[in-house]
Amino acid sequence: MRIFGEIKGISPGDLFDNREALAKAKVHLPLVAGISGGKHEGADSIVLSGGYEDDEDFGNIIIYTGAGGQKNGKQIFDQELDSVNLALAKSKIENLPVRVTRGHKHKHDLSPKKGYQYAGLFKVEDYWYETGKSGFKIWRFRLVAQEIFTSETVIGEPNGVYDAPGRKPSTGDRIVRNYQKAKNVKSWHNYQCQVCGLAIETSAGLYAEAAHIKPLGKPHNGPDIESNILCLCPNHHVMFDNGGFAIKDSLELIGIKGRLRVVKKHCIDIDFIRYHREHYLKNA
């Protein structure tokens, strides 16, 4: 059975001589493949070993390239969202932790000088495709470092954790959103989803979500402005962020029926719509 989460007795920072040692410790079972996972279960582990020219490693944010279409570190044909790539996407929608290990061939300050070093648990927060350095389609995965937890169940919180006032952010990779701009867009649409027209009713009033069209954060760096925000119900927000549908320049929807609902006040930038369509819709 595939183990998701920490392996008992293994801590971030632990070193391994080679892939065999890494497999024996159950951190990463495949001896060659960079991604360990099944397309139905999700991916449990990846190794960064310098094999992919498009990988980007910011320490606690990693932009990881999917598998396939590759020879001697060069992309020679298109990658598909299948097999272990689909496993990594599945880890996103199932919110599963992924173990990350850096190898000595992965050029980075955080890589070990020899062998392999386990870095800890990450979550897949985004997946999309783009044209890589070689001109072929690659799938990419944004992995973000998590706080440390074990694979055993921990219910509730540890008791009595007191922080001194003035404590600093732990990772600094939090994306801060402008709630006023989000609220403007939601108000303009009366909290009705721009796809289905539904406004979610709660005991605190109507609820809607502000969905960024071109995502915030690395590597997309979409802006946090009204023309890059849609007002969506949670269901259509999940679909929009995970390739369930996209939007044509004409505002007709692709993948599902209908047309994006618009209001005069809310100007939507077609460049962002296009960016989303060209990076998230699987069979565009």
DSSP secondary structure string, 102-120?
Answer: EETTS-STTS-SSSEEEEE
- C-alpha distances in angstroms, 103 versus 60, 100, 114, 144, 239? 16, 10, 7, 18, 35
Q: Does 178 bind a copy of itself (CB under 8 A)?
A: yes
DSSP E strand boundaries for the chain: 15-16, 35-38, 42-48, 56-57, 61-65, 70-71, 74-75, 97-103, 116-131, 137-145, 200-202, 205-207, 209-212, 229-232, 246-247, 253-254
Among 17, 20, 94, 249, interactor with a copy of itself by CB under 8 A: 94
- Interacting positions 3-42 with a copy of itself (CB under 8 A): 4-5, 11-13
The C-alpha atoms of residue 191 and residue 208 are separated, in whole angstroms, by: 5
Total site size for a copy of itself, rule CB under 8 A: 86
Q: Does 78 bind a copy of itself (CB under 8 A)?
A: no
The C-alpha atoms of residue 269 and residue 271 are separated, in whole angstroms, by: 5
Q: Does 184 bind a copy of itself (CB under 8 A)?
A: no
Among 30, 38, 68, 217, interactor with a copy of itself by CB under 8 A: 217
Q: Does 280 bind a copy of itself (CB under 8 A)?
A: yes
Nearer to a copy of itself, 42 or 74 (CB): 42
Q: Does 175 bind a copy of itself (CB under 8 A)?
A: yes
Q: Which stretch binds a copy of itself (CB under 8 A): 30-38, 70-78, 91-99, 263-271?
A: 91-99
Nearer to a copy of itself, 119 or 268 (CB): 119
Q: Does 176 bind a copy of itself (CB under 8 A)?
A: yes
Nearer to a copy of itself, 94 or 249 (CB): 94
Among 33, 216, 262, 270, interactor with a copy of itself by CB under 8 A: 216
Q: Does 172 bind a copy of itself (CB under 8 A)?
A: yes
Nearer to a copy of itself, 15 or 76 (CB): 15
Contact 118, 99 (CB under 8 A): yes
Coil, strand or helix at 205: strand
